[in-house]
Structure 1
Amino acid sequence: MSMSALPLFRFGIIADPQYAAIPPHAAMDRHYANSLTKVAEAIVIFNSWDLSFVMTLGDVIDRSFKSFDDILPLYEKLRHEALFLLGNHDFSVSAGHLSEVATRLGMPSPYYSFSRHGWRFIVLDGNEISTFALPEGHPHRALAAQMLAELEAKGARNAHRWNAALSDAQFAWLGDQIAEAAAAGEKVIVMNHYPVHLPSEHGMWDSERIVALLASHDNVVAYLNGHDHVGNYGKAGACHFVNFKGVVDTESENAFAIVEVYPDRLEIRGFGREESRTLVY
């Protein structure tokens, strides 16, 4: 049996449940309330596998802070560690709750990193410079409005207020984390809500600098995201960029994945609408 016949470890991925107790949006094929059933079904399957953790790639809810009270208890049935990152819809809450979202999701901070089996996972907060995630009067809101106006003036396809950017401080932290991982002999997987490559109307406002950074380090293996519910795949440098499909789309068909990490490749096992992929590194 060759070395690579068994994975080093596995983890689960689920993107964009966008749960809310509201009727479906037929034209967009979004079935907000049905995400409770789909997430519960995904958890049953995740529990039948040996996983290091399960990451939800943002947009746990579609709107309303009380929506968290319906969907988060489902994760208590997960026998693995449940990890979260922040999506744009997670901030579709009243102004008084904006500062509580990361805490409600049990996150250590809005962006963070952790290591498993000699791999470093870097979890970004793609909403840091945005028009929605911060209270009125916050300097990041003014900066976001300025960035958006500049992109609109250029006719950029990602010039939408449902996208956002990293702060310079977070971007510097990302570079430091990649360098620290390299020094420690760790491969890196970056996770964020928003795509950065291939360019799309859902891409982060500062996609170009993020892609340039990730493509310039050979220890960065993959960047995993949600946000664009139809899914996508691209490659820049040695880095694979995988956009996972949204759970909220379609009435009953699910979308989630198990990622198996081997010494020479990532095997993505897609369930429901999610595609299976082999990513060699």
Structure 2
Amino acid sequence: MSSRLWHYLHSLQIYGRVPANRVYCVSHQTMTTNITSCPLFSFGVLADVQYADIPNRLNFAKTSMRYYRNSIKLVHQAALTWNQDSRKPSFAVHLGDLIDGFNNREGKANSEKALRDILTEFDKFDGPVHHILGNHDFYNFTRKELWDSRLNTTQLTGKVNVEDTTTSHNPTNPPENECGCSNKLYYKFNPHPDFCFVVLDTYDISGCSHLQQCPHYEEALKILCAVNKNTGYELNSPTGLEGKERRYVLYNGGVGKEQLQWLRNVLEEATRKQQTVFILDHIPMFGATDQCLLWNYEEVLETLGEFDCVAAILSGHTHTYNYGEDTNGIRHIIFPGIVEATPGTNAFATIDVYSDYCDIRGYGQMPSFTLRYPVCNKTMGEECTDPTKETSVQATS
């Protein structure tokens, strides 16, 4: 390595642009410097595809355009990019809302066709894909139908070791009722012995994810209507609500008591094994607008704050990138929605995971940056900074 190159790399470490313990490989074939390192594993992430074979239209709030037919093209591009990557992802994650609710307006057959079409593009990725479920998935299918579909990745095998949450994951154990609410759509998997990935069901308690005759629906409606005094379809509107109360809308939901206890047990086990934890969900718990927050985000964050093993929470739902760090030092990364990525760009990432940090390589509207973990607890009220403005690496488009 030349003296000039050594000083350049050293300056990057001093100013925090790359981790000091990164392994550098310098190409001797050309005069250009090729700085690379070997991650423990990599994985791909994208969110809110919301595919539908319909013309572009504005979102519910009339604030941004949704490019429904374009979204399937962007999934195709992401799959090919991951396959061709020298640090090829061993798996991918979609953070919810795979097909848009408009599909169901033409009947179940149309929803099923849209699902087949978009899964065909995901199948072009040479690896398993974990699907977190969002509100639009429940607009198209019942919980039981989703359990019986390819969007149920609780039993995913192959390159990733998936562990079941309960015995209800046994296909021979049928759901107790037509709703299918006895089947648990939350689970964990271990792509590496030192890492645990936790998939949460943020519609465990929700009015849009259970049939009306289901007790879980009644419980969700009681929680919702205690705060939101709108009626019928207008329960999707936060009109009349202020501040954090605006999260009590029909398209959001919450984590139930049983799932919360399961999460605590998983984090206790991860702590014993000295594992770093990534949490994957649809509805954010922090850093989102008030009307896009998990109903019981405070309760879940309190549980997470009892442990030091959580590196980051990856969410979707808002369709807009955001980064936040809560008072326990846990990082929350909200991924931009594929459906609102303007034609000619994209909105996905490849995450290279190392022992004490990860590199997020963003494409299009998803920025690139380095994220260190675990993080120390922060003093209440201490200002947090966005790493994309501090330790960002060169963005890709």
Shorter-chain TM-score above 0.5: yes
Give the alignment of 1:36-115 within 5 angstroms: 36-49=72-85, 50-63=88-101, 64=104, 65-66=111-112, 67-93=114-140, 97-104=142-149, 105-108=151-154, 110-115=185-190
Distance in 2 of aligned mates of 1:189 and 1:275: 19
Given that 1:129 and 1:140 are in contact with CA atoms closer than 8 Å, whether structure 2 keeps it comes out as yes
**Residue 243 in structure 1 maps to residue 334 in structure 2:** yes
**How many equivalent pairs are there?**
279
Percent same amino acid among aligned pairs?
A: 33
Q: Which residue of 1 aligns with 2:301?
A: 211
Distance in 2 of aligned mates of 1:251 and 1:3: 37
Partner SS, residue 228 of structure 2: helix
Distance in 1 of aligned mates of 2:260 and 2:89: 29
Q: Deviations over 1:157-209 (max 9, x none)?
A: 21211110011101111111111111122110000001001253201001111
Q: Which residue of 2 aligns with 1:273?
A: 365
What letter is aligned with 1:276? S
Q: Which residue of 1 aligns with 2:349?
A: 257
Q: Deviations over 1:132-176 (max 9, x none)?
A: 111121111111112112333774121211110011101111111
1:150–1:277 CA distance, 2 compared to 1 (3 A): farther
Q: CA deviation at 1:24?
A: 1.1
Q: CA deviation at 1:92?
A: 1.2
**Residue 180 in structure 1 maps to residue 269 in structure 2:** yes
* TM-score relative to the length of structure 2: 0.67
Distance in 2 of aligned mates of 1:77 and 1:129: 34
Give the alignment of 1:16-55 within 5 angstroms: 16-26=48-58, 27=62, 28-49=64-85, 50-55=88-93
Gaps of 5+ in 1: none
Given that 2:316 and 2:334 are in contact with CA atoms closer than 8 Å, whether structure 1 keeps it comes out as yes
Distance in 2 of aligned mates of 1:250 and 1:30: 8
* TM-score relative to the length of structure 1: 0.93
Q: CA deviation at 1:238?
A: 2.7
Q: Which residue of 1 aligns with 2:322?
A: 232
Gaps of 5+ in 2: 1-8, 10-19, 24-36, 105-110, 155-183, 230-240, 374-397
Given that 2:288 and 2:318 are in contact with CA atoms closer than 8 Å, whether structure 1 keeps it comes out as no
Q: CA deviation at 1:229?
A: 0.6
Moved more, 145-154 or 180-189: 145-154
